[in-house]
Amino acid sequence: MFGHSLVLPILTIPLEVAPILKKLPFLSKIHLPDLKAREFLRYLGPGILVTVGFIDPGNWAANIAAGADFGYALLWVVTLSTLMLIVLQHNAAHLGIATGYCLSEACMAFLPKPVANAVLLSAIAAAAATAMAEILGMAIGLKLLLGIPLQIGAIAAACTAFLLLWTNSYSRLEKWIVGFVSLIGFAFLFELTLIQVDWVQTGTAWITPSAPPGSIPIIMSILGAVVMPHNLFLHSEVIQSRQWNLEDEDVIDCQLRYEFFDTLFSMIIGWIINSAMIILAAATFFQHSIPVETLEQTTELLTPLLGQGASNIFALALLFAGIASTTTAGIAGGSIFAGWFGEAYNIRDPHTRWGVALTYLIAVLIIFFIADPLAGLITSQILLSIQLPITVFSQIYLTSSPAVMGKYANRPFTKGVLLLIALIVTILNLWLLYDFLLN
């Protein structure tokens, strides 16, 4: 897909059956000897790190607001944004695999310096806005579970995430974060077993676009919460950090094939969890006409509706989401700042450390001045969606350039799909601006 032959590595097919299957027309381009689950698991990880970014507390705020205010109606936004995310994240990883550069390094190497500086400055701001949402979510989780004041929890969250980055390699972080994502997923699956869901209405809403009055800011916040600019920088950094042989085309082709399925598999997990958040809010709060003002209120409201166990699990899942996503936001901030100096992410390098520290410091300072945490979370996601076109158009330019990508440059169809996504994002942002000025 997107210029590469299809591989299905998550299946294990006996080699003696492969010659028979390869004669089938629709399987003629599949590399069946490579279809081994064990081999696929070796490449699984970067996509999971990215998935954490769009099941973070900012997503929780946007999704719960969507479900509580509009029921199932905005589920289509999760579907659309996840489809766009798959294409964009695959393209970002494509850049890292083919060139050995992360997105920030590529911007500095191949864009005019004033343009590169503007892109990376806005990207640092986006990473800080992301970290703010994620640190705030972790702090809310600590407050719900342990009664720790929000500001103290924010400082503890930032320090914990920095310590995790300082003491763990990529591979160890991936294992921790896979565990966190699994716990979050199981938490929401448990929550869904406790409620009555209108699955017919849910299925329709997943594929039927609608924009109820007053929903545009929430639509944009969901978009900004799923398709996040810092994740594009993160994916290109993490995927190229594995340091394969860039001179061996077979190695690059293998990486590209497996990366797409890592991305696809991980993004589907994210789509399920984000959908579950909206469904939970729609089936509880919207159905009972209960407005949700804060994430803390969510656990209080869940208790009489679903019991104390459900509210505790919700708070724990929020804490796990905050830990994992705060860590990945720090990697993204460090990667962007290091790329400014033409360097790859390396927590032992001062530029990377400064990038991580600045990302967290700005985020914590903002939290100290937020009066309404839920509104702050939603606003941060809107800001991300406004910055997103800058990153996306820069990425498309780079990945479409033979001077940058060589023979791996985007093909015309891929470039057309990417430009269409960038156009949709831009139009939605203009729509948000119009809606804001009108009201």
* CATH number for 192: 1.20.1740.10
In single-letter form, the type of residue at position 378 comes to I
pLDDT in tens, 152-181: 989 998 998 898 888 875 566 667 777 777
56 and 19 inside one domain: no
CA dist 128 and 303 (Å) reads 33
pLDDT attached to residue 295: 61
Least confident of 204-208, 344-348, 380-384: 380-384
Alpha helices in 44-112 (DSSP H): 46-53, 57-70, 75-99, 103-110
Residue 70 has pLDDT above 70, yes or no: yes
CA 174 to chain centre: 15
Same domain? 15 vs 135? no
Q: For the residues 120-125, what does the mean pLDDT come to?
A: 90
**Share above pLDDT 90 across residues of the chain, in percent, rounded to a whole number:** 18
Separation CA 94–CA 303 (nearest Å):
45
The reply to whether 165 and 73 lie within a common domain is yes
Q: What is the pLDDT of residues 271-321, one digit of tens each?
A: 988 898 899 888 888 887 877 766 666 665 566 555 666 667 777 777 877
Number of domains in the chain: 2
127 and 31 within one domain: no
Q: Are 24 and 121 found together in one domain?
A: no
State whether 25 and 48 are in the same domain.
no
Q: How far is CA 56 from CA 49, 203, 224, 413, in A?
A: 11, 24, 12, 32
Q: Answer yes or no: is pLDDT of 255 > 50.
A: yes
Neighbours of 230 (CB within 10 A): 28
User: Can you give the residue range of the structural domain that contains 340?
Assistant: 44-438
Please, what's the b/e burial string for 147-185 (b: 16 or more CB within 10 A of its CB; e: otherwise)?
ebebeebbbbbbebbbebbeebebeebbeebbebbebbb
Domain match, 248 and 308 both: yes
In degrees and rounded to multiples of 5, residue 52 shows phi and psi of -55, -35
99, pLDDT greater than 70: yes
Cα-Cα-Cα-Cα dihedral of 230, 268, 324, 375, to 10°?
A: 70
What is the maximum span of the chain, computed from C-alpha positions, in angstroms?
66
350 and 212 fall within a common domain: yes
Q: Is the pLDDT of residue 245 over 50?
A: no
Which of 6-10, 340-344, 414-418 shows the lowest mean pLDDT across its residues?
A: 6-10
Contact 383, 130 (CB under 8 A): no
Of the listed ranges 10-14, 123-127, 434-438, the one predicted with least confidence = 10-14
- Is pLDDT at 335 greater than 80 in this prediction? yes
Mean per-residue pLDDT of the chain: 77
Instruction: Say yes or no: 346 and 425 in one domain.
Output: yes
Both tokens assigned to 309: 């166990």
**Which is more confident, 402 or 383?**
402
**Whether residue 115 is found in the same domain as residue 186:** yes
Residue 292, phi then psi, degrees to nearest 5: -110, 120
Exposed, middle or buried: residue 60 (CB in 10 Å: 0-12, 13-18, 19+)? buried
How many CA atoms lie within 13 Å of 26's alpha carbon, on the beta-carbon side?
0
The model carries a pTM of 0.75
* Tokens coding 39: 């081999």
381 shares a domain with 264: yes
Going by C-alpha positions, the residue among 273, 226, 220, 268 that lies closest to residue 54 is 226
Alpha-carbon distance 33 to 17, whole Å?
Answer: 10
Tokens 């996840």 -> residue: 82
Range with the lowest mean pLDDT among 138-142, 310-314, 417-421? 310-314
Higher pLDDT, 188 or 122: 122
Q: Could you tell me which residue, 251 or 417, shows the higher pLDDT?
A: 417
Range name among 9-13, 138-142, 350-354, 416-420 with the lowest pLDDT average: 9-13
Q: Residues for the chain: how many in total?
A: 439
Pair 114, 106: CB distance under 8 Å:
no
pLDDT of 375 over the 60 cut: yes
* Closest C-alpha to 81, from 189, 188, 204, 219: 219
From start to end of 105-220, where are the E strands?
none
Q: 107 with 14, same domain?
A: no
Q: pLDDT > 70: what percent of the chain?
A: 73
Q: How confident is the model at residue 18 (pLDDT cuts 50, 70, 90)?
A: very low
